[in-house]
Structure 1
Amino acid sequence: MSSSWLTPSLSEDLIKNNDLFKETHSIIADIMSGRLDIVQLVENMGGVLTNKEAEHRDKGMRFFTKILKELPQDYLTEAMINFISKFYIDRLKDNHRVIPAVLEGYLAIVNMTNYNVTNSGEFFTVLFREVPCQSQLRQDRYNIYCIVQTLLNKNLEYIKSLGPDFVYGVISSMDGERDPRNLLFLFGFLSTFLKDVPLGHLVDDMFEVISCYYPIDFHPAPDDPAPVTRQDLANALCPCLCAVPEFGEQCLVLLVEKLDSSLRLAKIDSLRLLKESCNTFKAETYGPFLKTLWASIHREISHKTDEELKMVAHETLSALITKLATVSNTDQSFENFVKGILISMQTAIAESSTVAQLVQASKVLLTAANASKESCLIVIRSMIPATVAYYGFKTTSKLQIASLDFLGDLYEMAVHWEVIEQLGAEVNEIPQLCLTAVSQPSKEYQIAGFKTLIRVRNALQSELVLPFIEVLVHNVQFSQDKDLLSVSVETVHAIARKYPEDIMTLVIKGKCDLENLTQDKEALQKRLNLLSNLASIDDFTKIIIEEMLKIITKNDEDASKVVEAMNESMSNASLYSNEKLTEIESDHGLIDSILSWVTSELHTGSKEGLSHGFMLIANTMSSLSVEKQQKVLSKHTGNVLEKCKSDEAYFHILSCLYSSVHQSVYDSSFEDIMTLALTLSLQSKDDDIRTKACVLVAHFLNKAEYGQKFEVLYELLKNFQSDGNREQALSTTLIVLYGWVTKALIMRGNDMFTFWLQKIMTTLSCQEFSQHGSEAIKLVMTDYPDYLNSKHHCRSGLLYKQRMYQSFKSLTGNIGPENDDTKQYYLLSWAYVLEKVPKTVLNNDVGKIAPLIVESLEYDNKDLLQVMLDILCHFIQEKHDVIALSLQTILPRLLNLSKYVKSMDVRIKSLQCLYEIANAYRTMILLPHKQDILLDLAPSLDDKKRLVRNMAVKARTRWFLVGAPGEAKEN
C-alpha cells in the first residue's frame, strides 16, 4: 500500500481499504516536497471520483476533502484552486450522499489564500439550484452558511454584484432553519449581511424569513453539554430585525403586536427591539406608531413588581425620545410625543397618594428629560412650576419631601444639558421653596430643604442668603440632632462657595464671632466644626486656621476641642485634598503646633483628645511630599526617639510621624525605631502602644525598598524573634506580631510571608493559643481603614488574598487539631480566609472545602456559621455534585440551624440553603428527604422575625413542589 497515491491504483486501493485515510499526512508531505502534483492526485483518483456507485464517489470526495483541509492555506496556486473549484462545483450536481463532502471541501477551498472570489458566482448558482439547503443535515447547512460568510468577508463588492439571485438564494437557504446553533451563527452574520448587501425588491421576503423566529421561544435540552440559551438567540436576532431602514414599518408593526402579548419575555424582547431599532430606523418611521408605542411603554413602565421589565421600558423610552429629537425642528411629532408623556405623568403625580407613586411618575419624566436637550427643556420648563404648586396643595409631609428631591433631580438634569440660562425664572423658584421647607420646625423638612438647596446652590439668589443663614446658624448653635447638624454645616459650606463675602460677614465674624471664639462655651464644639469645615475654602483658610492654631498654641482648656474639630474636617478628603493640607502645613506649621500640644498633654490630656491630635499629624504627614516629610522627621525624630527610651508614651508621637511616610523615605533612625517598636510590641503594658508598635513594624516591612533597606529591617526582625538559638516564648502578643508581619509581607508580594504564616499555623493545633492563632489569620485577611493602605503609601498586591488562600490551604495539611476547641478555631481560621476570597476561586477546590463546611455546621459559633453557610449556598447554586452526595448529613444540620436562636442571619441563610437545594438538584435525590423537611420547616413559619418567616415560606413552598406533577426532573 506504500505510496499507492503516486499511481492510478489509488482509486482501487481507496475503494477497498479505509486505512488510506490515515495516510493523508504522508500524501501532504509528498505534495509539499514536489513528488506529487495535486492535479496528478486528482487524476489518480479518477476511478473512485467517477465510480458508478455513489458510496464510492462519496468516499473519494471525503478523502480528497481531507487532504485539502490538511494542506497549508497558502500552498495551492490560483490556477490549482481554480481547477479544484470547478471540479467541486461540478460535484454539487452529484448524488445527495456526496454533497456533505463537497460542501466541507469547498469551505476549505474558499479559506485558501489564493482563492479567486469570482469562482463563487458559478458556485452559488449551482448550489442554490441543485442543493436544497434545509434538506441537508445540520453540519452541512452550517457549512453552507460559513461559505457565504467567508466569501462576504473576502470580497464584499463582488458578492454584491451577484444581485438579487444571490440574495434570494440566501433567503431560500435559511428559510425554515430550526437548529439553535445554526440560527445563532446565522443571526450573527445576518445583521452585517443585511447592511452591506442591497436587498432590492426582496426586502419583504427577507424580513418575513427572519421575523418568523420572533419572539424566540426556545429551551435547550437538559442533556446538551454546550447549550444555546433562549437569551443568546434573542440577543442575536434583535439586530437582524432592525438592521436596515427598509425594515422599519414591518418591524414596528411586529413589535407593537408583541408588546400587547401576555408573555413577559415577548414584552421584554419587543422593548429591546424598539430600543435597538432607534439606531437604524429614520425618526419619521415612528410617527404613525407613537401613540400606540407610548401606551405600551407606559403600561410596562408602571409595572408594580417586575423591575427588569420597568428598567427595559425606561431604556426604550429614552432611546425613542433621543431618536425623535433629531427631527424636532421640522416635525411636530417629537414635541407632541414628549408633551403627551408630560400630561400623563403630571396627572399621575397630581393623583399620587404615596411616595412610591410619585417617584414612579417622576422617574418617567426624568428619563424623558435625560434623553435629549430638547426634551429636557420641555419637561423641566413645565415640571418645576408644577412641582412647586404640588408642594403647596399636598399636605402629606412625605410627599412634600419627595417633591423637593424631585426638584433637585430636575435642576441637575438642566445643568447636565446646559439649559439653566433658558430656565432662569423656573429655576429661581426652587431655592425659595427650600427656604419654605427649612423654615418649618420639623427635622425632616429642614434636612430635605437643605439637601435640595445644596444641589441647586448655584441658583440661590443673594437676597435669600440671610434668611438661610439665620436658620442654619440657629441649628449649629442649638440643635442636638447629628444628622441635622451635619447637613447644616454642609449647607453653609455650599453657600460659602458662591457667596464667600456674605458668609465671612454673617457667619465667621458675625454669628461664630471668630475673634472671640472661646468666650461662648455653650455651642463651642458645633461652631468649631462649622469653622473647620469652612476653612477648606481658600477665602477662609488663613483667617480661620490662624485663629484655631492660636488657641492650640496657648493650650487653653478648649484646645482639645479645636484639635478634634480640625481632625474631623481635615480627615474628610472631599473637603481637604492633599494639596490643601500641604498648603496649610507650609503656611501655618500645622504639624509643629499639634506636636507641641500633644507633647504637653501626653500624660494629662484625655485619651480621646490625644487620639485626634495623633490622627491629625498622621493625616497631614500623609499628604506631604517626600522632601517635606524628610524635613519634618529630621526636625523631630531625634528628640522624640530619645524620650521614648525612658517614657514609652512618646511612642504615640513616633508612630503618627512615621506611619504615613512614603516608600522612598529612609534614614538611619529607622533601625532604632524598628528595634524599639519590636520591643514595645511584646513588652508594653498599654494595648494601644502594643498595637501601634506592631503596625509600625508592619509599615516599615511593607514599604521598605528592596535591597539593603529591606534586608536590614528584616534582619532586625529575625534577630529579635530569636535570642541566639532560642526563640521567643510563644505568647498572645507574639502571635499578634506574627499576624502583622505576615500581612505586611504578603501584601507587598514577598515570599518570606510563608515563614511567619507557618508560625501562626502551628498555634492552631495548640489548645492554649488556637483562638489567638485564628484571630491572627483574621488580622491578615481584614482590611483596616487606618493601617496598611494606600493612604499611608503602603504596597498592596491585587491578588494577595487569593495568594493567602493558596498558602493557607497547602499548610493546613500539617495541622492536627487536638480536640473540639482547637478544631473550632481551626475551622474559624478557614472561615476568615474563605470569606475574603472570590467564590469563583473556591469552585476549583470544592472537594477540599465542602467537608470543612459540613463539619462547621455542628459548631455553636455565629461568625463561623455565617461564612460557611454563605459558601455552602454558593456551591449549591453552582450544583456541585459533592454537595448532593452529602445531603443526608447536610439537611439535618441546616434544619437545626434554621432554629438557631443567637442569630437571625444564620437562620435566614440556612433556610436559603434549603431552598437552593430544592431548586438545584434532581428530584430523585430530593424525594427521600421531602416529608422530613416539610415537617421540620414548620416551626420556622412562626419565627418572631419577619425576614426569617419569609424565607421559611419560600423554602417550604419549593420543597412542596419537589416531585409534583409537571415539575422538571432536571432543574
Structure 2
Amino acid sequence: MAATISGHVSDFVLGLDDSKSEIIAKDLFDRKITLVQVVECLGEFLTNPDQSTRKRGTQLLVQILQKLPTGLLAQKEVVHVTTFLMSKLSDHHSIQPHAVQGLAAVTTFTSFPGGEMCQQICSEIFKEIQNQSLSQSDRRCVYTIFLNLLSSHLTDIQPMGDTFVCGFVQQMDGEKDPRNLMLAFRCAQIVCNHFNLGAMEEDMFEVTACYFPIDFVPPPNDPHGITREDLSQALCQVMASTPAFAKYCYPLLLEKLTSDVQSAKLQSLLALIACLPVYQTTHLQEYLGSLSFQLMREVRDNSSEELVTASLQALTALITQLSKEAGQLAEFMAETLPDLLRKVESDSAAVRLPTIKLLRAMAAASPLACHSVALEPEVDFLTETVALLQQVADSQSPAMDWSILTECRGKVQELGDSLLASQVPQLQVLGMRGLCALSMWSSILPTEEVQTTVEKIQNKAVHANSDIVRKESQTCLRRVLQQQSQLADIIISHLTEELRANHGKYSSPNGRQIFDNSAALLASVAVNKDTAERVCKVFLQSLQTNSEGQEELLLPVSAGLATVLQSNLISSLVYTTEVIPSILSFLTTRCLKWPSEKQQLHATVLTQLTDGLRSGLLLQEKQVASQVVQQVCSLVVSGDPALLSAGGDSPGSNSPLQALSSWQQSRLVQLLLVVIPCLDTQTDPLVQRLLAHLPDVALQASDAHTRLQTCKCVAAIINRIPAGEPLESVVNGLHTKVTSHLTQSSDLDISHAALSLLTWIIKGLVVRGHKSVTGLIAQLISLLEDKVLGLKAAEGFSTILATFPDVLCVAVRATVTPTFQQRFLVQNLPRLVSGFHNAQPGLKEHYLLAVASMLTNVPQQVLVSELPQLMPLLVSSLKGGNSDLHRQALSTLTSGIKHSPDVLTAYLSDILPDCLHLAAQAPSMQERILALRCVGEMIQLPPAALQPHKSKVLSALKPVLDDRKRLVRKEAVSARSAW
C-alpha cells in the first residue's frame, strides 16, 4: 500500500496525472491509508529546494484536504497540517495561494482546535499576505478563513483587538469583486459588532462605506446571482452594525440624499432606516435639522412612489428614536409642526396631500409622537372652549338666563376633570382654567361643589412638576378667592398642612416639590388684608421652626414671605409687632449658625428677606418707619436689636460693623439697605456713625457678599446726603481712604475691594448728577492702564450704569437724575476712545471692555448717535478672543444696521469676515446666533455694497446649516435665505 501511495503522489507532483488527488482522498475516507502516510510520501517534495516541486506537493496536500469530509481528521492531524500550511505562507509567492486554500479548508474542520492557533493564522496572514496581489479566488479564500474563524472561534480572536481590526482593514482595502465583497461585508459586520474599534473606527467605516452607494450592475446570465440589492443590503448591515459609525454615516447619507441619482437616494434612505435603530440618538441632534428637511422635501417633490415611501419610513424611524427622549421630541415637534399644520389648511392639493402623509408618518412613530401631532389642533380647540367659559364667568349679572349653563354644567365639569388628569401640561392648564371658570358660576354651582372643584385645582397644583401648570394654578386660585372669599380658610389651611407634612421630607425630591409648590401657592393667595396677614404668619412660623441641616427649605419660605410683604396688604401693627421682631430674631439666631458650605444659599435667603422688609417699610408712616430704622441700625451697630446705642461711635463686639466679624455676622450689614431709604441723611446722627465704619468693612471684610452690600450702603447714603459742604466732606474723605488703599496696599484682595468701593461711590454720585464725580471718573479711567486692576476697572463701568432694584433707583427713594446713563456715556466715551488708541496693545482690551460694559446699559437711540466713533472699537472687539466683547459688539452692530446703515456700510469689509467666522466657530451658542442675526440684518445695506460678498457669505453659511444646535441652524437658514 505504501508503494501505491508513493506512486500516486509522484504521478501528481510530476504532473503526470492530476486525478491522483481524488484517489488518495478516497483511500483516506475509506480508512485504507492515513494522513501520516500521505505526508511521509510527500516529505521529499514538500522540502525540495525547487519551488515548483514544493508548489505541486503543497497543491496535492491541499486538494486532498478540500475533498475530505470536515469530520474525518483527528485534532492532532489538523494541528500538524495547519502548522505546516502556516509555514508555507512565508514560502515562495507561487506557493502562498495553495497555503491559503488549505487554511480555508482546515478552518472548517470540526476538529480544528481554535485557541491560539486562530490568532497564529491571522497574524501570519497579516504578516505574509498582500491580499490585493492575489487572484479573485485566492482573495475569496482569505475572506473565507476570516469568516470561518469569526463565526466559529470569535472569542479566540477577540483578544487580538486593534491588531485584528487593522489587519482586516488592510486585507479588505481595494476589494472590487462582488462575490468577495459579500464575504468581506459579512466579516466586517461581525468585527464591528464584537470588537472595540477604538482608533480604527473611522478606517473601518471608510474601507466599507467607500462602496456606498452600490452601483454594481450584474452581467447578463451571471451564474453567481449576486444583485445590487444583495450588496446594498449587506453594506447597510455593516453601516448599521455599531453606533460608533453615526458621526461618519450621517454626513455621508445627507450628501447622497441630495444626489440627482435616484438609486443613490433610495439606498441612502434604506440605510438610514437600518441605521437609526442602532445609532439611536448618538450624534442625531447634530444632523437632525438637515435630515428631516431632506426627508420632507423628498415627500413634497414626489419624484417617485418608491422614494416617497422610503422617505416616509425613514421619517418614522427618525421620530421613533427622538421619542425615546421626550425633551428632544418636544423640541423637534415645536419646530416642525406649526409649519406642517399651516400647510394642511392650504387650498392646493399638491401642498396639502404630501403634508398629510408627513403628519401620518410622524404620528406612526410612537404614541407620544402621535399625541404631539394631534395635540396642537386639540389644544387650539380646547383653548377657545375654555376662553368662552371664562368669558361667561367674568360677565355674570343678575339678569342672566342660567338655564342653558345649568344643562351643560356636568359636561363642562367632566371636560375639566379629564383635562386635569392628562399627562400633558398644556391640557392640564386648560383643565384648570375650565374648572376655575366653573367654580365662579356662583349662581348655578352649589358651594360644596365649588369647594370640591377648588380642591381639585389645589391638589394638582401642589404636585405639579411643570412651570406652566404651577403658574396657572396660582392665577386660578387668586381669581377664585377674589370672588369666593369664603374659601380662604380651606385653601390656606390645606396648604399650611402640606408645608408641615413635608417639612421633614424636604430632602426627598417629592417632598421638596410639594413643599416648594405649596409655599408658592400660599404666597399667591394673599389677595386681601386678611389672607395676606394669615399667610405672612404661616411663613414667619416656618422661619422660626426650621432646624439645622434643612437650610434649603428656607429658600421658598423667604421668597413667599417677600412676595406677601411686597403686596401692600400688611398692616403697620402686624409689620412692627410680628414681622420685624420675627425676622430680626431669625437673623440674629438661626442665620448666625449657618454652615459655611452653604454661603450662596444664605445670601439668597438674606436678600429675599431684605427685599421684603424694605418693600414693607416704604409703605409705613414716618413714625413707624423711624422706629424700625432705629431697631435695624441698632442691630447693625451693636449686634443686638434690643440695644439702641445712645452715644459713642464704636461698634459693639458682636456688631456686623466689625471688619473681622464672622461672615454670618458681617452679612447683616445688608439690613441697612432696608432702612437707608427712610433715613434722614441730613439730621440723623446714625449717618455719620455708619459712614465712619462702613468703608472699613467694605475694604477689609473677608466675605465678598458683605463687601458688595457694604459698598451699596455707602453709595446709597452719599446719594441721599444733601448737596453742599457735608457731601463734599464725605466724598473727599472716602476718596482719600480709597486712594490710599489702591496705591499703598500690596494685598490684591484689598486693592480689588478699594476699586469696588470707588466704583460704587462714583455710581452714587453719577445717579444724582453730582459734578464732583468728574475727578473720581478720571481716576477710574486711569486704572484701565493698570495691568493688574485694569479688567476690574473695566467691569466697574457696567456697575455704574446698571440698574439695581435694591439700591439707587426711584423705587427706594434714591436721588435719580433723568438720562444719567446717556450723560455719562456722552461725557466719557471720547476719553475711552482716545485711551484705546493710545494704549499699549496688551491694555487695549481693558478699554474695549469698559466701552462694552457701558453699551449694555444705555438706550439704543443713544448708541446710534455715538456709532461713528464706536465703530473702530467694535471692529477690534470682533477680532479679540473675549466672548463678552463679541456679544456686545454683535448686538450693537445689529442695531446699528437698522438705524445707521450708512455708517455700517463703510465698515462692511471689516466686520463681515469676522461675523462669518464667529457664526461658524464661536464656542458659545449665543455668540453664533448673534453673529448670524448680524449677518442676516446686513441684507438691509445697499445692494451694491453687498453683491461682492454674496458668494462668500453663502459658502460660509452652508456648513452652519448643520450646526449641532437647533436654534443656530434656524438662524443660519434665515440668514442664508436672506442673502
TM-score by structure 2 length?
A: 0.52
Q: Which is further off, 725-734 or 932-941?
A: 725-734
CA contact (8 A) 2:516 2:556 kept: yes
Q: 1:580 aligns with which of 566, 570, 582?
A: 570
CA contact (8 A) 2:960 2:972 kept: yes
Q: Cα deviations across residues 265-298 of structure 1 (Å, max 9, x unaligned)?
A: xxxxxxxxxxxxxxxxxxxxxxxxxxxxxxxxxx
Q: 2:711 aligns with which of 691, 694, 709?
A: 694
Q: 2:441 aligns with which of 459, 471, 493?
A: 459
Distance 1:853 1:725 in 2: 31
Distance 1:949 1:735 in 2: 43
1:805, CA displacement in angstroms? 0.9
Q: Residues 435 and 764 of structure 1: is their aligned pair in 2 closer, same or farther, counting only changes over 3 Å?
A: same
Distance 1:833 1:847 in 2: 16
Partner of 2:590: 601
Partner of 2:558: 567
Partner of 2:892: 871
1:599, CA displacement in angstroms? 0.4
Partner of 2:628: 632
Counterpart amino acid of residue 464 in structure 1: E
Q: Residues 886 and 431 of structure 1: is their aligned pair in 2 closer, same or farther, counting only changes over 3 Å?
A: same
Counterpart amino acid of residue 598 in structure 1: L
Q: Cα deviations across residues 277-320 of structure 1 (Å, max 9, x unaligned)?
A: xxxxxxxxxxxxxxxxxxxxxxxxxxxxxxxxxxxxxxxxxxxx
> What secondary structure, in the 3-state scheme, does the structure 2 residue paired with 1:603 have?
helix
Partner of 1:422: 400
Distance 1:594 1:506 in 2: 25
Q: Residues 915 and 396 of structure 1: is their aligned pair in 2 closer, same or farther, counting only changes over 3 Å?
A: closer
Total equivalences in the alignment: 574
Distance 2:969 2:743 in 1: 59
CA contact (8 A) 1:941 1:952 kept: yes
Q: Residues 794 and 727 of structure 1: is their aligned pair in 2 closer, same or farther, counting only changes over 3 Å?
A: farther
Q: 2:755 aligns with which of 717, 721, 735?
A: 735
Q: Residues 510 and 788 of structure 1: is their aligned pair in 2 closer, same or farther, counting only changes over 3 Å?
A: closer
Distance 1:957 1:498 in 2: 53
Partner of 2:849: 828
Distance 1:916 1:524 in 2: 47
1:906, CA displacement in angstroms? 3.3
Partner of 2:668: 653
Q: Residues 926 and 488 of structure 1: is their aligned pair in 2 closer, same or farther, counting only changes over 3 Å?
A: closer
1:590 aligns with 2:579: yes
Q: Residues 810 and 675 of structure 1: is their aligned pair in 2 closer, same or farther, counting only changes over 3 Å?
A: farther
Partner of 1:669: 686
CA contact (8 A) 2:767 2:820 kept: yes
CA contact (8 A) 2:420 2:429 kept: yes
Q: Cα deviations across residues 919-942 of structure 1 (Å, max 9, x unaligned)?
A: 42252x444445544544443344
1:516, CA displacement in angstroms? 8.9
1:539, CA displacement in angstroms? 3.8
Distance 1:882 1:614 in 2: 45
Q: 1:800 aligns with which of 801, 820, 840?
A: 820
Q: Residues 436 and 355 of structure 1: is their aligned pair in 2 closer, same or farther, counting only changes over 3 Å?
A: farther
> What secondary structure, in the 3-state scheme, does the structure 2 residue paired with 1:764 have?
helix
Q: 2:731 aligns with which of 672, 690, 714?
A: 714
Gaps of 5+ in 1: 1-352, 363-392, 960-971
CA contact (8 A) 2:920 2:957 kept: no
Partner of 1:612: 605
Counterpart amino acid of residue 448 in structure 1: L
Partner of 1:448: 430
For residues 446-595 of structure 1, the aligned pairs below 5 Å read: 446-454=428-436, 458-459=440-441, 461=445, 462-475=447-460, 478-481=463-466, 483-505=468-490, 508=493, 512=497, 526-534=517-525, 537-546=528-537, 548-550=539-541, 552-553=543-544, 564-572=555-563, 576-580=566-570, 582=572, 584-586=574-576, 588-595=577-584
Distance 1:896 1:355 in 2: 32
1:662, CA displacement in angstroms? 2.4
Counterpart amino acid of residue 782 in structure 1: A
Q: Cα deviations across residues 645-688 of structure 1 (Å, max 9, x unaligned)?
A: 54354343232244453255332122222232211212111111
Partner of 2:696: 679
CA contact (8 A) 2:536 2:561 kept: no
CA contact (8 A) 2:533 2:569 kept: no
1:793, CA displacement in angstroms? 2.6
Distance 2:372 2:386 in 1: 18
Q: 2:928 aligns with which of 904, 907, 916?
A: 907
> What secondary structure, in the 3-state scheme, does the structure 2 residue paired with 1:635 have?
helix
CA contact (8 A) 1:640 1:650 kept: no
1:562, CA displacement in angstroms? 7.8
1:406 aligns with 2:384: yes
Q: CA RMSD in A?
A: 4.2
Partner of 1:75: none
Q: Residues 414 and 743 of structure 1: is their aligned pair in 2 closer, same or farther, counting only changes over 3 Å?
A: farther
1:690, CA displacement in angstroms? 0.9
Counterpart amino acid of residue 655 in structure 1: Q
1:692, CA displacement in angstroms? 0.9
TM-score by structure 1 length?
A: 0.52
1:726, CA displacement in angstroms? 7.2
Partner of 1:763: 783
> What secondary structure, in the 3-state scheme, does the structure 2 residue paired with 1:902 have?
coil
Distance 1:520 1:871 in 2: 50
Distance 1:561 1:890 in 2: 48
Distance 1:677 1:498 in 2: 50
Q: Cα deviations across residues 822-850 of structure 1 (Å, max 9, x unaligned)?
A: 22232122122223333333343333112
Q: Cα deviations across residues 149-201 of structure 1 (Å, max 9, x unaligned)?
A: xxxxxxxxxxxxxxxxxxxxxxxxxxxxxxxxxxxxxxxxxxxxxxxxxxxxx
Q: 1:622 aligns with which of 610, 615, 618?
A: 615
Distance 1:451 1:781 in 2: 42
1:438 aligns with 2:429: no
1:732, CA displacement in angstroms? 1.9
Q: Cα deviations across residues 895-916 of structure 1 (Å, max 9, x unaligned)?
A: 3333223134433443444444
Partner of 1:29: none
CA contact (8 A) 1:940 1:949 kept: yes
Q: Residues 787 and 907 of structure 1: is their aligned pair in 2 closer, same or farther, counting only changes over 3 Å?
A: same
> What secondary structure, in the 3-state scheme, does the structure 1 residue paired with 2:680 have?
coil
1:855, CA displacement in angstroms? 1.9
1:886 aligns with 2:864: no
Distance 1:808 1:532 in 2: 45
CA contact (8 A) 1:500 1:539 kept: no
1:953, CA displacement in angstroms? 5.0
Q: Cα deviations across residues 380-403 of structure 1 (Å, max 9, x unaligned)?
A: xxxxxxxxxxxxx99954444434
Distance 2:764 2:521 in 1: 38
CA contact (8 A) 1:748 1:795 kept: yes
Counterpart amino acid of residue 652 in structure 1: R
Counterpart amino acid of residue 447 in structure 1: V
Partner of 2:162: none
Gaps of 5+ in 2: 1-335, 346-370, 638-651
1:750 aligns with 2:728: no
For residues 273-292 of structure 1, the aligned pairs below 5 Å read: none
Counterpart amino acid of residue 497 in structure 1: Q
Distance 1:650 1:537 in 2: 36
Distance 1:418 1:475 in 2: 27
1:838 aligns with 2:859: yes
